[in-house]
Amino acid sequence: MEFWGWGKHNRKRGVAILAQIELTTAEIMEQARNLGAEFVGFATIDRWEKSEDVPIALHPHRIWPQTKTVIVLGVPSWQPSEEKSPTIVREQSSVINNLLDEVAYRLAVYLNRNGYPAVNIPWDSEGEGIPEHKTIAVFSHAWAGHYAGQSQVSKNNIFWATKYNPQLNLVSVLTAFELKGDA
């Protein structure tokens, strides 16, 4: 399979073709953790297809057709919430979400550089920055975390992380790399 891009590449008819480097899930997890993620999980797109939990328009392969696997990255908020002032909560959330966006972007770059097309979905996948304060759902990191085996989503779409209590912030990377999903 040939992918276009930069990085380690071959030349064919004067066009750069990205070489595909064999990667394992362990290497991807190590890279993500080195970038700052505390949690790394994998979910295959068939988990969205088999369930009726998420509208079809929000399935990963509907957002980006090449998607075979969703890599879910998480960073927990470690401080007990009762010890935080609203300003600290806001700032800590900002730091965590900015870190997650950077980790997801850099992991997508790492995958692309190694021959596996990938795109990151920012933590603010709800479209809250859209004028007139219209919330438009784009992608649910909570459901991605659920399909990666690390969370539960309640009937009213509240996310509950199993290992980190409910204080796990998530972001996702969609990739054409077909990986085995977590249990």
Core vs surface per residue 87-125: b (16+ CB within 10 A) or e: eeeeebeeebbebbbebbbbbbebbbbbbbbbbbbbbeb
Is 125 a member of any domain? yes
Is 183 among the domain residues? Answer: no
- Give the chain's radius of gyration (CA, Å): 17
Provide the pLDDT for residue 178.
Answer: 93
Closest to 45 measured CA to CA, from 60, 27, 24, 29: 60
Give the chain's domain count: 1
Please check whether residue 7 lies inside any domain of the structure.
Answer: no
In degrees rounded to 5, what are phi and psi of residue 21? -95, 135
Give, for all 183 residues of the chain, the pLDDT tens digit: 444 444 444 444 444 456 688 999 999 999 999 999 998 999 999 999 898 888 888 899 999 999 999 999 998 876 655 566 777 777 888 889 999 999 999 999 999 999 999 999 998 765 544 445 445 567 888 889 889 987 677 665 556 666 656 577 889 999 999 999 887
Residue 53 pLDDT: 85
Task: Let me know if residue 91 belongs to a domain.
Answer: yes
The single-letter DSSP state of residue 129 is T
Q: For residue 170, give the nearest of 126, 109, 130 by alpha carbon.
A: 126
In the three-class reduction of DSSP (H, G, I as helix; E, B as strand; rest coil), residue 82 is classed as helix
Task: Tell me the C-alpha distance between 171 and 181, whole Å.
Answer: 16
Which helix (H) or strand (E) segment is 39 a member of?
A: strand 39-44
Judge whether 11 lies within some domain. no
Whether residue 77 is contained in a domain is answered as yes
Task: Name the β-bridge partners of 119.
Answer: 174
Stated pTM of the model: 0.80
| pLDDT at residue number 14 | 42
Q: Scan for tokens 């009213």, then name that residue.
A: 156
Looking at residue 82, its pLDDT comes to 58
Q: Going by C-beta distance under 8 Å and a sequence separation of 6 or more, which residues neighbour residue 30?
A: none
107 located within any domain: yes
- Tell me, what's the pLDDT at 11? 43
Query: Tell me, what's the pLDDT at 84?
Result: 61
Q: Which residues pair with 153 in a beta bridge?
A: 159
For residue 8, tell me if it sits in a domain: no
Q: What was the pLDDT predicted at 78?
A: 67
Q: What is the pLDDT of residue 4?
A: 45
pLDDT attached to residue 94: 87
**Angle at CA of residue 137, ends 87 and 152, nearest 5°:** 75
Domain of 56 in residue numbering reads as 24-175
